Amino acid sequence: MSKNMKEVIEKGNAFACIQCGRCTGSCPAGRECSMRTRKIVHLAKMGEDVFAIPELWECTTCFTCQERCPKEVKTTDMIIELRNISVERNYFPSMAGVPRIIIKNLYDTGSGQPLSPEVAKMRSIIGLAKDPCDVSRDEKDLKAFQRLLDSLPLMRGVAK
Amino acid sequence: MRVGVYVCHCGINIAKTVDVERVVKEISKMPNVVICRDYHYMCSDPGQELIKKDINRYGLNSIVIAACSPRMHFKTFQEALKSAKLNPYMLEMANIREQCSWVHDDVEEATKKAIALVKSAVAKAAQLEPLVENDSPVVPAALVIGGGIAGIQSALDIANAGFKVYLVEREPSIGGHMAQFDKTFPTLDCAACILTPKMVDVSRHRKIELLAYSEVDDVTGFIGNFHVKVRRKPRYVDEERCVACGDCATECRLFNRIDSEFDEGLGKRAAIYVPFPQAVPLKYTIDPERCLFLTRGKCGDSPKCVDVCDANAIEFDQEGRTVEFDVGTIVVATGYDSFDATKKPELMYDKLPNVINGLQYERFFAPNGPTGGELVMPDGTVPKKVVFVSCVGSRDKKVGNPYCSRICCMYSTKQAHLTKERVPDADVTVFYCDVRAFGKGYEEFYERVQEEGVKYRRGLVSEIYRDDDGKVHVRAEDTLLGEPIDLEADLVVLATGIVPKATTRSLAQKLHISHSPDGFLLEAHPKLRPVDTVTDGIFLAGCAQGPKDIPDTVAQAGAAAAHAIDILAKGKITIEPYNAVVNPDLCGGCRICEMLCPFDAHHYNEAKGVMEINDTLCKGCGVCGAGCPAGAITLNLFRNKQIICQIGAILDE
Amino acid sequence: MTEYAFFPGCIGKNVYPGIEKATRLVFGTLDVDLKDYPYSCCPPPGVVACYDKESWYTIGARNLALSEAEDLDIMTICAGCYGTLHNVWHELTHNRKLLEKVNENLDTIGMHYSGKSRPIHFVDILDGMRKEISEKKEIDLGFDVAVHYGCHYLKPSSVTGENPESPSVLDDIVGLVGCRSIEFKDRLTCCGAGGGVMSGEPDLSLRMIETKLKNIQERNVDAIINICSFCHMQFDQSQKKLKRFEIPILHLNQLLGLAFGHKQKHLGLHMNLVSNRDLVKKVKMARRVSA
């Protein structure tokens, strides 16, 4: 987990980048928006605060760019690490809404997508346990899980 | 022993960090030391005069020089000893520069270390013995492996100097890849027109014995005396009788049915063939894996080639044979292969017929190619939109080729020009990362081709696909615009890079030469010795040593020839006595040293039951000495007693 | 008797439980035992890893640690879960310092992960059971299908060991049950849901899946087959949002369930927003393999 741009560049092997553009050429998101993978790597190498740019959040982490990079630059891994720094420094823009709800759900129920009563009913109709085996089934497990989450940086900034 | 010690200042290189005067003072106290001096530059003429005068005046019989690394001036000082009539091996150097003054800052510590180093050298010098340099005769002939432009050039240069050359080529004809090209960059010379005269020279040269359609099976020996075994593959055609009329190929039942290697799979040949009309030797060859008679024992009622050959040259019972000969030097010029683009599946090379590689595209333009030099696709259409994809298999760690193949930028530029020449209104785009136009006239050529309307877009192609109308599309980012683009094309040419020939590794093992991590053959020094290998007497030329264009290949081939001629002309080689010696009284004939030796220098003498060392092959590496259980092997210049005295001198501090 | 720890993941359990049910039925038919554990969310690589990787490794390691006592490998049915668990396993077994940090965190609730239990995506298990699949096939389905490999099962290949540019396992498996895998433009491209984009950049996510659906629609397939519950959700929900596509979407286990003769109701086919009625009709008309 990189704490600063220097670590991100080193871990991501960004120094090897020759700006060939194969990453952007492979990017399925880049065809539909203004994110340019290659530019992100270049800005990082130049020492810019890339974690502050909104396009950083348009990557679906499909890994095609990292797969095809001829210099073995870890493009997708770098984007994820940059997002971590962004969150830590409170830069994340449009992700304010729904993703935070997912983390809150994770804390409250142990699942990012919790089980609704309707779906619980559907489960029993098709022959599955209404109350599935997961961390929320036993109160003790869920409480332990929440204690674990309390000790982690993830919950920072998410109202409980 | 009467030892003379000379401590060099090397200007400030040594003297700034080592207190030279103090070193002299300490060393002067040592036993055996008759005279100890310091001087600013020992390697200079006055410095050497100092040594010579002292040898005569004081009757010195062993010399120590404390200065730079022996790799710099050991030979220089040896010459000084020789001219003072002292055996040149009564010399020991202490490296107080690269291993002392250049790597330490503290003057006190560095001086103490220098004193220890010189004491150790003096202790060894007191134990030195005179050694004799032996001569070994040189066979006045050379072997050149590979008949492409590199091998051809080397062979001609060596033969013109008056020495016999055996030129071995594995294909039915010499010429290599250059014979497949249409035009060469940047002058647009016709490749065949400049190559074939040299090929004919080779065939006609009194001093060159051309062994085409042959392979080197085994090489033993050492510089001056290599013994070579070459396997001559059977053509199943009598070379004396064949006049190359070509009737056999026209009548062959498999006429036009077999993919032609020379045409990179785009053209066809028969089972009996010459690779191209200008082949040297111009003799037909039967493909033993496709010929019906050779594979099945029968070809219709009777083989057509036999029926139609007026010269009666077909010989199905011909056998391969091995020829053996001796040479003094070897030049390795085995060339390259094209990168296999199927290793980049996202480029669809093996899936789409209008995605081809650089060498294949070249065959379209060549007058002796499958389309007679016309730019016409297999379906008869003329491509109007041509896209070049750079760096396929080069600068790419994913496929294990991190290096740049050097020639692709230029050959793409050349092929882009040829495209416009054949189809003036064609839309030609080159997707590049960097345009490497390094040679004479190259940058000018690149500019000219752009003036002809070829578009250069910066960005490497990430993937290729085919749409529902059968049109091929390339995807890339135009990095200068910062926009992804999708371009439709009729034809996509992958600028595939150069890889070492598949046979390089086994050949390197046969010859005891190394290759670098990228698989190309390794030169002795990357800057200063580009044609030598670490094995004396074996030289490198052409792309076997690394990617390069034709001018550099020819230059390197000439250099390799010059180095080969150097040895052949001297007629003998002087062997430095840095070798290991077996004491036959102690040797038990266990042969462990033979197994350990990386240079095959050990030979078991059956009659005497002891090992003998060939001092020409021996490099003095010491592995055998370390491995001998009887302690029967010692190294000249690194005898056990000498080393023990050195250690003693250091520990005495 | 083969046995795996079964990691159903949130989507296959809480949103499209038909996928969980189909999995249990299919692997039951194939004589594979699935054991349940009190798993939490994997947690999702898109949201959680992008927020804080240390938390992602830790929560993932807790899940991995649950089956260590029984030394069972863990089967995933969602490639997002696989992407998390497999990458967490790979990183923790190659990076001692990270493993120590993660175990320090797990220690707060008395747990410990030693790197034993290994995640495996259900497709790889099926790949090794081709003979059994052919034997258990009762209906030769005869569908034309568009297969969707998704991303995290294939990439990064240095970790997954797969062939991301020309994979064939999914095409082969649907072939085993009589289906034809139809080529379509950009078939290996991402569905647009991952990386937190589905929740964080919904317009972009929709544009990406729309492009994919357009490409598939040009081919007249009977269904889209996926190997990831998250892609499944994306393909299903987006068609309702876009309003102009009605291509049935099935998880591979649902397809296999049909081929093994299980009822469509049990496989949860009716739980999709996109109707599977036509598909079910086709199954009724398909050729039954004689016993």
Q: What is the DSSP string of B604-624?
A: EETTTTEEEE-TTT-----HH
pLDDT of B158 over the 90 cut: yes
For position A92, what pLDDT does the model report? 66
> Alpha-carbon distance B399 to C182, whole Å?
30
Annotate C163-203 with DSSP letters as a single string: -SSS--HHHHHHHHTT-EEPP-TTTTS--S-TTTHHHH-HH
Q: Are C126 and C75 in contact (CB under 8 A)?
A: no
The set of residues, in sequence order, having a beta carbon less than 8 Å from that of B422 and lying 6+ positions away, is B365, B374, B375
**Chain A residues within 8 A of B433 when measuring between CB atoms:** 18-21
The answer for residues whose C-beta is within 8 angstroms of residue B623's C-beta and 6 or more apart is B596, B597, B598
pLDDT tens-digit readout, B482-531? 999 999 999 999 999 999 998 888 999 999 899 998 999 999 999 999 99
- Predicted pLDDT at B134: 87
- Chains contacting chain B through 3 or more C-beta pairs under 8 A: A, C
Residues of C within 8 A of A60 (CB-CB) are 46, 151, 190, 192-195, 197, 205, 208
* 8 Å CB contact of A18 and B433: yes
Contacts of C51 in chain A (CB under 8 A): 83-84, 87, 99, 103, 154
Give A113-123 pLDDT, tens digit per residue: 899 999 999 99
Rounded Cα–Cα distance for residues B76 and C101 (Å): 61
Q: What are phi and psi of B493, to 5 degrees?
A: -110, 120
Decide if C140 touches B, using CB distance below 8 A.
Answer: no
State how far the Cα of B72 lies from the Cα of B69, in Å rounded to an integer.
6
Contacts of A69 in chain B (CB under 8 A): 398
Answer whether C166 touches B (CB < 8 Å).
Answer: yes
pLDDT of residue B481: 96
Residue B453 backbone phi and psi in degrees, to 5: 105, 5
Which residue ranges form the domains of chain C, and what is each CATH number? 2-122 (1.20.1050.140), 137-288 (3.40.50.11810)
pLDDT in tens, C209-242: 999 999 999 999 999 999 999 999 999 999 999 9
Give CATH 1.10.1060.10 domain extents, chain A.
Answer: 5-94
| Predicted local distance difference test score (pLDDT) of residue A96 | 54
Look at residue B42 and give its three-state secondary structure: coil
Indicate yes or no: CB of B477 within 8 angstroms of CB of A21: yes
Q: What residues of chain B lie within 8 A of the CB of A68, using their CB?
A: 346, 398, 462
B318 by Cβ neighbours in 10 Å (0-12 / 13-18 / 19+) ranks as middle
This model of the complex carries an ipTM of 0.93
Helix, strand, coil percentages (3-state) for chain A, rounded to 5, are 55, 0, 45
List of chain A residues whose C-beta atoms are within 8 Å of the C-beta of residue B395 = 18, 20, 70-71
Nearest-neighbour CA in chain A from B362: distance (Å): 26
Least confident interval from B144-153, B216-225, B538-547: B216-225
- Decide if pLDDT at B570 tops 80: yes
The DSSP string of B44-73 is: SHHHHHHHHHHHHHHT--EEEEEES-HHHH
Tell me how crowded residue B302 is: count the other CB atoms within 10 A of its CB: 10
Residue from B460, B485, B486 whose CB has the most chain A CBs within 10 Å, to mutate: B460
Average pLDDT over residues B184-197: 96
Q: Which residues of chain C have pLDDT under 50?
A: none
What is the C-alpha to C-alpha distance for residues C198 and C194, in angstroms, rounded to an integer? 7
DSSP string, B565-613: HHHHHH-EEEEPS--EEE-TTT-----HHHHH-TT--EEEETTTTEEEE
Question: For chain B, what is the mean pLDDT?
Answer: 95
Give the per-residue pLDDT at B637.
Answer: 84
**Are the C-beta atoms of residues C162 and C152 closer than 8 Å to each other?**
no
Nearest to A38 among B463, B475, B479 (CB): B479
Q: Please tell me the predicted confidence (pLDDT) of residue B470.
A: 85
Report the b/e string of A107-122 with b at 16+ CB within 10 A.
bebbbbbbbeeebbeb
Residue C185: how many CB atoms within 10 A of its CB? Answer: 17
Cα angle: B75, vertex B78, B80; to 5 degrees: 120
**pLDDT less than 50: residues of chain A:** 94
Query: Which phi and psi angles does B137 have, rounded to 5°?
Result: -75, 155
Q: Which residues 91-110 of A have a C-beta within 8 angstroms of C?
A: 94-95, 97-99, 102-103, 106, 110
B338, B516, B551, C12 from B522: Cα distances, Å: 20, 5, 20, 57
> Degrees (nearest 5) of the Cα angle B629, B635, B638?
115
**pTM for the whole thing?**
0.88
Mean pLDDT of B271-295: 97
CA B500/CA B481 separation, integer angstroms: 36
Q: What is the pLDDT of residues B374-411, one digit of tens each?
A: 999 988 899 999 999 999 999 999 999 999 999 999 99
CA-based nearest distance B404→chain A, Å: 12
Q: Do C14 and A115 touch (CB under 8 A)?
A: yes
Domains defined for chain B, CATH in brackets: 3-131 (3.40.50), 141-233+322-333+503-570 (3.50.50.60), 247-308 (no CATH), 337-499 (3.50.50.60), 580-636 (3.30.70.20)
User: Are C48 and A106 a contacting pair at CB < 8 A?
Assistant: yes
Residue of chain A whose alpha carbon sits nearest to that of C49: A80
Compute φ and ψ for B283, nearest 5 degrees. Answer: -135, 145
Distance, CA of C50 to CA of B94 (rounded, Å):
60
Report the percent of chain B where pLDDT is more than 70. Answer: 100
Q: Domain A5-94, what architecture?
A: Orthogonal Bundle (1.10)
Q: Can you give the length of chain A in residues?
A: 160
Chain-chain contact of A132 with C37 (C-beta, under 8 angstroms): no
Interface check C44 vs A, CB under 8 A: yes
pLDDT at C46: 84
Q: Do C165 and B468 touch (CB under 8 A)?
A: no
First to last CA, chain C: 24
Q: Phi/psi zone of residue B148: left (φ > 0), alpha (ψ -120 to 50 degrees), beta?
A: beta
Mean pLDDT of B35-62: 94
